Each structure stands twice: as structure tokens, then as C-alpha cells.
Amino acid sequence: MCAVGGVPFGGAKGGVTCDPSTMSPGEVERLTRRYTANLIDVFGPDKDIPAPDMNTNEQIMAWLLDTYSMHVRRTEPAVVTGKPILLGGSQGRREATGRGVMTCTLAARDKLGLRPGQCRVAVQGFGNVGSVAALLLHEQGCQVVAISDISGGYYNASGIDIPAAIAYAAEHGRSLAGFGGADSITNDELLTLDVEVLAPCAKENQITEENAADIQAQIISEGANGPTTAEADDILNEKGVLVVPDILANAGGVTVSYFEWVQDRQGYFWSLERVNRRLDRMMRQAFNTVYDAHEKYDIPMRIGAYVIAIDKVASALRTRGIYA
């Protein structure tokens, strides 16, 4: 993802097996601080820089920052990204992944020659990524006809009032259950709607060999990590669906995490307009590079992204050589 997006970071995942929804705030804080203390030799502004993912938020990043800083005896904002702005976080970080999905979707739409009015969108998942992507696509003139969360899907052929849906979820414990601005459908039905764009922004393995043949979207923008199985990928490629892979479509988050790290190291912070402008430029550039590889080698976008990323890493290793 970082190599595709032009971000000079590595990449890894780590976490704790638990259900934070069943834990008190105090328990989550103690868990976060113990996790940070146990990895104190791994974390660092020039080593491993954590960032938010599923079931984490700005507060958890703040606890991580505080725990690390107490151990090293100095405040080190650049050790973690996705922090609250008042602790050195970046403008636009919370919306960054959804904004990247929007940018890639519009770039794909342009490649296929679709006009905004022709672009009906279904978004699976209405958390931080899905809700932001839906709102931004709505603001760009796309017709978001379906959204969903764990409570199920919601469909309105005339378009859903996304700001109203976001306000409803905020007032009902971040849930769309009972939302009256659309008809109820299942999450499975949402995936196979007659739309131009499908944005799976929930969990992995949502598009499988069992439902891939029924997907009608021309563009799939993967806001989630690994929403499409390898078997489904083959079916979608046969159908001619343009799949914008997760390592490209949802790279907005890590890109603005990089921006946050840069700002923390400089002690100079950018406006929201500057963050968004630079994010949009980097995402467009990454999309065009991958799309060029897709066309040049007649390969799927996912393989094109791998070609770009692996070539960058291999070229860097060859250039550095081997210290013996």
C-alpha cells in the first residue's frame, strides 16, 4: 500500500484479540497502555509508527502517545498517528480513508466515461470509511442509492439523503437500525444491486465466488481490507469489472498518517485545505500509475498495483546493494 501510494513507510498489522464493545473505558485504556508498554522497544518515530484501525479511535491513539512518552521521558507526538488534533494530530486524518475511496472512485468513473448523473453508488459499511465515502460521493453529484451497517442494508432508488443518514446514526449509537429514508434490504442484496459503483467498506471476504457472478457494478472501490476473495477476483475480471484494489483505494488513511508524521517532525501544521489537496493529488497520481500498468500489461488493477509496488521495493534493494 505504501509503495503504491508513494509513502515512505513500511507496513504491518498488530492488535489485541478482544471485543472492546463489551469493555469499560477504563479496561480499554489499561489494555492500550499495557499493549504499548510491551511494545515499547518496537515503537518509535523512526521505527514503527502505529495508526488507528478497526475498533480504535483518537482517544486510544492518545493513550498510546502518553504511555510511550512517559517511558522515554519526553513527549513524542510523531510516534503515533490518528491522534486528536490538540495532541499533534492532523486535520483531515479521520476522513482520509473515505476521501481516498472517493478520489479513486471518481478517477475510475472518468476512465470509463461515466458522468456524475450516471453514477449510482452502493456503499457497504457505514463506519468511518463508508459514511465519509458515501457523503463525499454524494457531494460530488453521485447518487448513493444504498448503504448498510451491521443492522442491514437500506435502499432508495431515488437516492439516499446521506447527511440525514449520518445524523441518524450519530443519534442512535452509530447504528442505522430503524432508518426511515430507505427500504430495508440485506447486506448480501446490496452487493448485487443494479449500480455503476460498489464500494465495500466493511469487512474482508464479502465478495466471494458465490456472489461475484451476480454483481452488476462496473466499478468496485475496495474501502475495506480484503473484501474480495481470490476466487471472486477471477470471476470479476472475466466480467470486465474494474476493481480498484484495497491497497490503492483505501490508501488515503496511511497517506494522511504520513502527513501527520511529517507535521509532527516539523512542528508545523497544515490547513485542512492543504491536507486534502495533497491527498487528492497523491491518490490521483497513484491511481493513474496503477491504471497505466493495467492497460500496458493487460492485467487487472490489483496485479497492476502489485507490479508497481514490488518493482519499487526491488529497485530500492538493488540500488542499496548488500552490506557484507
End-to-end CA distance of the chain: 30
Q: Tell me the C-alpha distance between 255 and 7, whole Å.
A: 6
DSSP string across 273-321:
HHHHHHHHHHHHHHHHHHHHHHHHHT--HHHHHHHHHHHHHHHHHHHH-
203 is catalytic: no
Widest distance between CA atoms in the chain: 67
Q: Tell me the C-alpha distance between 203 and 77, whole Å.
A: 30
At 39, the amino acid letter reads: L
Instruction: Provide the phi-psi class of 209: left if phi over 0, else alpha when psi is between -120 and 50, else beta.
Output: alpha
C-alpha distances in Å from residue 21, one per residue of 24, 125, 192, 224, 324: 8, 18, 31, 20, 50
C-alpha distances in Å from residue 173, one per residue of 166, 167, 170, 178: 11, 11, 6, 12
**215 contacts 207 by C-beta, under 8 angstroms:** yes
> Of the listed 13, 83, 111, 312, which one is catalytic?
13
Q: Per the structure block, which three cell numbers stand in for 16?
A: 489485541
Q: Residue 182: CB partners within 8 Å, gap ≥ 6?
A: 146, 147, 154, 155, 156, 160
**207 contacts 187 by C-beta, under 8 angstroms:** no
Q: Residue 213: CB partners within 8 Å, gap ≥ 6?
A: 235, 239
The residues assigned a catalytic role are 13
